Amino acid sequence: MPDVAADNGLACPRCGAVHGADVRFCVSCGMPLVRADTGDEAAPDEATARARKVKPQYLGGELVKAAWARNLAEAQLIQGILLEEGIPSVERRARGFDVPDFLAGGPRDILVPQAARDAARELLANSGGGVADDPAPSKVAEPPLRFLAKFAAVMVGAAALVWVLYQLAN
């Protein structure tokens, strides 16, 4: 293979193979490629180190919900478990809990690419994580019809109490 390192090509951090600038993953081992034009080896930042752990077979498709977490710390733990197996993930606040006063509180959804959904669910089921089909421990909001029924019952009770007190006063 021609040496394209001088032409701002990309190199594989695992096997050292040099590739052209239009290739994203190593043809031999599948690792994400890094720039080959730097002569000095700088320590990679956290984002680069995380990207190197991701396996290319898990990168296809739309983001789908694979798990849930009770709070931010649990969501980050689940993301770390997934990343150690090469599965990329994103955490998102569950609907109804996006209040700025409680940034770390509230349930989170863990999203993974469609290609990694089955592997992520299997991994989390074996490790005791909150898989998406498991019911969440608490409801986000009460259904509207149940709320209206309770409200109507309270109003009828209050009206009956007022009527009884009025009858006793006369």
Question: How is the chain split into domains, by residue range?
Answer: 1-44, 56-127, 142-170
Q: Mean pLDDT over residues 1-17, rounded?
A: 65
Give the model's pLDDT for residue 8.
Answer: 62
DSSP symbols for 39-56: SS-PPP-HHHHHHHH--G
Is residue 160's pLDDT more than 90? yes
Give the model's pLDDT for residue 73.
Answer: 87
Predicted confidence (pLDDT) per residue in 110-123, tens digit: 999 988 888 888 88
Q: Mean pLDDT over residues 46-54, rounded?
A: 77
Q: How much is the pTM? A: 0.52
Q: Mean pLDDT over residues 31-58, rounded?
A: 73
**56-127: CATH topology:** Alpha-Beta Plaits (3.30.70)
Give the model's pLDDT for residue 155.
Answer: 96
Is residue 68's pLDDT more than 70? yes
Residues across the chain: 170
CA dihedral 129, 133, 137, 138 (to 10 degrees): 140
The helix (H) or strand (E) run that includes residue 66 is strand 63-69
Among 33-42, 90-99, 126-135, the minimum mean pLDDT is found in 126-135
Instruction: Give helix 117-127 / helix 72-84 axis angle, nearest 10°.
Output: 110
In sign, the C-alpha dihedral spanning 85, 86, 92, 95 is negative
Burial class (CB in 10 A: 0-12, 13-18, 19+), 85: middle
